[in-house]
Chains A and B, each alone.
Chain A
Amino acid sequence: MLWHLVKRTAFYLLVVFIVVISVFPFYYAILTSFKSGTALFEINYWPTSFSLQNYTQVLTTGSFPRNLANSLLIATVVVAISLLLAVTASFALSRVRFRGRSTLLLMILAVSMFPQIAVLAGLFELIRFFGIFNTPFALIFAYMIFTLPFTVWILTTFMRDLPIEIEEAAIVDGASPWVIVTKVFMPLMWPALVTTGLLAFIAAWNEFLFALTFTSSNATRTVPVAIALLSGATQYEIPWGNIMAASVIVTVPLVVLVLIFQRKIISGLTAGGVKG
């Protein structure tokens, strides 16, 4: 009986430990973001002061609002384009048997594991050739390299599990493949589309390497680059308060989305093995 109690206590201690480790850094970032002046440099574990100074500073001075708008625009367009391209592609990959199908699937999986640095030089040349360097189009284009493979992969696994009967009925009625995709499959696919769309959005929102390389001015940067390059009045002074406020601003929407769509995201992650 005592042994049982010890085991239970140990288990719950482990649970508490996991939760604290997971959440504490974000909690501490929020705590810091509400501090200003010298309070910033006092170490507190609980909220002691409340000041919105960091937030007003980040949102009114500099180009951070512009960066937020850039990120929002780029991530949204990336999601729309990759879903559009992936839905038809995964219909073909999941419902039609043709030669080379499994090779194609393997190729798509291979691209999803691609080291992005390996294409950086060639992509840089191509983006300059298109004349889209330092514009949102450069990032929208470049982000396809990681959003397309996993949207195709997840949607293919999802569509493969849909019953064949619904499609057969449509074929008997003489529906063309396009009609089958848009009228029969699309309505059934909303859960999968929401999941993949969310994952693509998060991936595009968080991307750093391409954003750092393919934009070169404050006005065209996305938020991760803006936060990484946020600097103070002097070179030696790191504006920790502002950085934490900016970090909280870009992270809160993501955390809220992830918590709302928890189940969907977990199923999408495990189906696609998307990068963490």
Chain B
Amino acid sequence: MKFMLLIHSTEPAVIDNTRVDGGVMSPEYAAYNDALIKAGAMLAGERLQPTTTAASVRVRDGKTEVLDGPYAETKEQFGGYYLIDVADIDTAVQWAARCPSAQFGTVEVRPIWNTRGA
């Protein structure tokens, strides 16, 4: 079964570009990635840039609106995801608990629809 783990956590108020480099993974996350790959569970996973870089788009009555910022202003922000393939929800929740961000943020576990083109 495929699941998406959606990682929500509080973004630091000011991103210190000299210290926090989005291109370098923390040792915790690097090890977590390795473990997912080694277990054959990893399908994909990415870390998102901060919500200050986000744009939100919607089309209403034929009119396209583009707004700065994320879809919803929330205390914790959506900051990254993993797409995993595991036996069941129990295993998916287990992997969510291992996610380093689960220590301070929230990892949402969502089963994926098995959709096909009509």
Please indicate whether A and B come from the same complex rather than being unrelated chains.
no
